Structure 1
Amino acid sequence: MRVAIGRSDLGFMLVALSGRGLAALMLDDDAGALQQGAEQLFPAARLVHDDMDMNRCMDVARACVDAPWQPSGLPLDLRGTVFQQQVWQALQAIPYGTTLSYAGLAERIGRPGAARAVAGACAANRLAVVIPCHRIIGRDGSLSGYRWGTHRKQRLLEMERAARLVPHDPRAYS
């Protein structure tokens, strides 16, 4: 596992890359906190600098954070329970610029009444923005929690809503 830390429009960003793909994209205001978090999640990981693959991965991750409606295109190394992976797959099917409640997502995966478990799966998500748990809100419309900070969740949702209003296909302007 290789790890790199850089900056994005939403603060510091950590990417972890395994032989299978992107294993983590974490956001924080403190680079040191990100590094400590990575050391806990991936004890054998090594922090790398000026590695061509990591630089490319960091650029793709930064583009994903800057334009959360764009798919990363990176292979993902999802590590979680079967239920967590089911939730994460369902999250990826939520169109950008829209939201769904925890209960709504639980119903969508055929597990009505599992809203708390869905919230737990969202909290366990290591791939900020790529697995768009920021699109999940409380039943009352509140932002509720977000592992990477509700201020980031608010910003991501604002960016996505604005993007839905403006076409991003260059052919649309011809």
Structure 2
Amino acid sequence: MEKNNVKVTFKGGAVTLLGKAPKVGDTAPDFTVLSSDLAPVKLSDYAGKVKVIAVYPSIDTGICAAQNRRFNQEADKLKDIAVLSISVDLPFAQSRFCAAEGLNNIVTLSDHKDLDFGYKYGFVIEELRLLARGTIIIGKDNKIKYVEYVPEIAQEPDYDAALKVIKELI
């Protein structure tokens, strides 16, 4: 599997990301992940919408939980966008978290089965079989408008930069 050149660290040490790192202007590759009811979901299911992909390692960490809460809060204010929250957590854990937190403005999706999203977007951490933290924004035209790989996995994404791009698209 192709290694991308994005530099990301975890607990002070560099990790290796696998897959192709997308660039602004690229056509967003379609991918298949699992919904909370284990049904396959594709990016193309959200055609014609602005799509925000919030990527995180595991719902059971404080920073990942905060990231999901924040994107849920922002999605409530911004209409006609799809916030797809993707990790390799099992769909059951994602559903449990969203129910406990009252998060209903994001769509949690699991890449645990095939890592199809992770490899196509270059987020798979080789050493951990988790996804790195980041944000991808895709316009209604299915072109990538914003890409962020958070350089230290234990940090939150740059919400302000992502929100600026989202507001320009809606």
TM-score if structure 2 supplies the norm length?
0.25
**TM-score, structure 1 as length reference:** 0.25
Q: Which of the two has greater strand per residue?
A: 2
Larger Rg, first or second structure (1 or 2): 1
Which structure's residues are more often helix, by fraction?
A: 1
Which of 1 and 2 has higher RCO (CA within 8 Å, sep 6+)? 2
